[in-house]
Amino acid sequence: MEHYDATTYGDAIAHIYDDWYESYDPAAIDALAELARGGPALELGIGTGRIALPLQNKGVMVHGIEASEKMAARLQAKPGGYRIPITLGDFGAVPVTGKFPLIYVVFNTLFALLTQEEQIQCFQNVARHLTPDGVFVTETFMPDMKRFQHDQNISLAAMDDGYLRIDVSKHDPVQQLIYSQHVAWTESGARFYPVRLRYIWPSELDLMARLAGLKLTQRWSDWNKSPFTRDSVKLISLFSRA
């Protein structure tokens, strides 16, 4: 693909995003509501509002940052969506005013920033928008090199009568980049949904936080707050002021 920027993924996938990705783990909504402690929350890469809307229904005022106008339009068309302010722009810059007791970025969305420098700057910008006792929550997958053979991976994502979806990825272990295409086939042909990610190792994540004056306070392997272990496939990390 010649051109890929912060809007590419969302603009391509917005029309089917909510069909592919079901409602979010209710335990995530409970944990985030608890962490907001009655205050407003800021979601980085708010998308179609899978997390923001149920969180708002629990009484948390949520503000979102989103690059894709098409994703934001989907959110705003949903019941209650008009009550969620959305800032269109790059979440790495955190282009909002005010401070929040909770800032969160879930579903691996932090990895949508494609260089280490952009990810470090995101932590630094987040730190400027946290209240003194504020919490920054990241949910990311644990990088798994076993997925790749010769730095490539093909996996089946969904299959039904007359429908097939596969994920095809190329891996650059030096830049920690994964270049993927979700490919969906129906009887009328194939459609491509590009996605690029720069994964972050847990120790690197903690170092990014330190560079921003934050420190890791808790790390879970799921939203039920199970401890993170060497076998965990995801990490939910909580950072506060050092």
Ligand X SMILES: C[S@@+](CC[C@H](N)C(=O)[O-])C[C@H]1O[C@@H](n2cnc3c(N)ncnc32)[C@H](O)[C@@H]1O
How big is the site for ligand X, counted in residues (CB under 6 A)? 21
Give the interface segment with ligand X, choosing from 89-97, 124-132, 152-160, 170-178 (CB under 6 A).
89-97
55 is a contact residue toward ligand X (CB under 6 A): no
CB of 102 to ligand X, least distance (A): 14
Two structure tokens written together for 122: 């995101």
Contact between 29 and ligand X by CB under 6 A: the answer reads: no
* Residue from 28, 31, 42, 65 binding ligand X (CB under 6 A): 65
With binding defined as CB under 6 A, does residue 63 bind ligand X?
Answer: no
Toward ligand X, which CB reaches closer, 109 or 130?
Answer: 109
CB of 161 to ligand X, least distance (A): 27
Pick from 51, 102, 127, 208 the residue near ligand X by CB under 6 A: 51
Q: Give CA angle at 43 (120, 117), nearest 5°.
A: 10
Tell me whether residue 83 or residue 150 sits nearer to ligand X (CB atom).
83
CA pair distance 224, 64, nearest whole angstrom = 24
- 159's CB contacts (< 8 A; 6+ apart) are 165
2-10, 144-152, 157-165, 221-229 -> range binding ligand X (CB under 6 A): 2-10
Identify which of residues 10 and 101 has a Cβ nearer to ligand X in the complex. 10
Q: Which amino acid, one-letter code, is at 169?
A: S
Query: Shortest gap between Cβ of 148 and ligand X (angstroms)?
Result: 21
Is 200 an interacting residue with respect to ligand X (CB under 6 A)? no
SS (H, E, C) the chain: CCCCCCCHHHHHHCCCHHHHCCCCCHHHHHHHHHHHCCCCEEEECCCCCCCHHHHHHCCCCEEEEECCHHHHHHHHCCCCHHHCCEEECCHHHCCCCCCEEEEEECCCHHHHCCCHHHHHHHHHHHHHCEEEEEEEEEEEECCCHHHCECCEEEEEEEEECCEEEEEEEEEECCCCEEEEEEEEEECCEEEEEEEEEECCCHHHHHHHHHHCCEEEEEEECCCCCCECCCCCCEEEEEEEEC
Choosing from 92, 102, 125, 169, the residue that interacts with ligand X (CB under 6 A) is: 92
Q: What is the chain's alpha carbon radius of gyration, rounded to the nearest angstrom?
A: 18
Closest distance to ligand X from the beta carbon of 46 (Å) = 6
62 lies in the site for ligand X, by CB under 6 A = no
User: C-beta of 8: minimal distance to ligand X in Å?
Assistant: 8
Q: Write down the least CB distance from residue 109 to ligand X, Å.
A: 4
Q: Which residues bind ligand X (CB under 6 A)?
A: 6, 9-10, 45-47, 50-51, 65-68, 71, 90-92, 106-107, 109, 112-113
